[in-house]
Amino acid sequence: MTWGRDHAQGAEEYIQANPDDFEWDGSVLMPYGTSVWGASATSALSDCDYVIAGAFMGGLIGFVNEYKTAEYDGTFVITDQNVGFWSTYVANCGRENLNGTLWPHNGRYWSVDGDYVGDLLTNTIIAEYCTDEEKAYFENQPTAGTVWIMLYYITELLREAVNQADSIDDIDGELLYDIAQTMTIEIEGYPTLGFTDTVRALLHYTRVYEYNAQINDFSRLGADEWITIPGFE
């Protein structure tokens, strides 16, 4: 269920490439800004076990309410952008309609401690460069690790560009792109970080969180091990 063809195309191609694990049941593409989906749209996904929610804000709210009013049972799968406004969805859809929603996420959620690679880098940088007051600030920022890992990669990318370039004028987007195709970062205990000509995600791993209506919050599913995204090994 989506406003964007890229969401639908990516999901369909992956599912069809893994027929032993999934069966593609179809997608519903609507004009951007749609808030009323109609029976034909919701019924098209009535038999799905999982519904990937590519819509946002009003679009997702409308779909969830129509889908659950029709008493369909598919579990919603959301992205980070949805979680950022989760209280709005809960207020407009109700906890029970969202219960069991799954959220794949490669950072640390506010209520969960863990050995996240971003946290490892964050702690190293903070210990070396920050004052006690600054350390206290970052310790209360559970998403800081996700930001630091990206900044760390960009810094290393720029460092390598400087080493390769004859002058500052030679450092441009093309050079950075070429370096990023082969530059990787290895941190013990974590999947390799980096890009290729087809891989466009820096973080190749995730963990899955589930929304629990009873506590009105997300909690992590399964063991603590990272889930390496297939195709990125």
In this predicted model, which residue has the larger pLDDT, 135 or 156?
A: 156
Per domain, the residue ranges of the chain are 5-110+203-228, 117-194
The pLDDT confidence band at residue 14, using thresholds 50, 70 and 90, is confident
Query: Is residue 17 scored above 80 in pLDDT?
Result: yes
* Per-residue pLDDT tens digits for 215-231: 998 888 876 667 776 65
pLDDT for residue 96? 96
Average pLDDT, the chain: 81
CATH topology for 5-110+203-228 is Rossmann fold (3.40.50)
Q: What is the pTM of this model?
A: 0.73
The pLDDT confidence band at residue 71, using thresholds 50, 70 and 90, is very high
Query: Is residue 191 scored above 80 in pLDDT?
Result: no
Q: Nearest CA to 49 among 30, 22, 86?
A: 22
* Per-residue pLDDT tens digits for 116-142: 556 666 677 777 888 888 877 766 665
What mean pLDDT is predicted for residues 158-171? 94
pLDDT for residue 50? 93
pLDDT for residue 93? 94
* Per-residue pLDDT tens digits for 46-69: 999 999 887 677 788 888 999 999
Contacts of 2-11 with C-beta under 8 Å, sequence gap 24+, read 2/27, 2/28, 2/29, 2/30, 2/52, 2/53, 2/54, 2/55, 3/29, 3/30, 3/31, 3/32, 3/33, 3/34, 3/54, 3/55, 3/56, 3/59, 4/54, 5/29, 7/52, 7/54, 8/54, 11/52
Query: Is residue 31 scored above 80 in pLDDT?
Result: no
The pLDDT confidence band at residue 4, using thresholds 50, 70 and 90, is low
What mean pLDDT is predicted for residues 30-49? 84
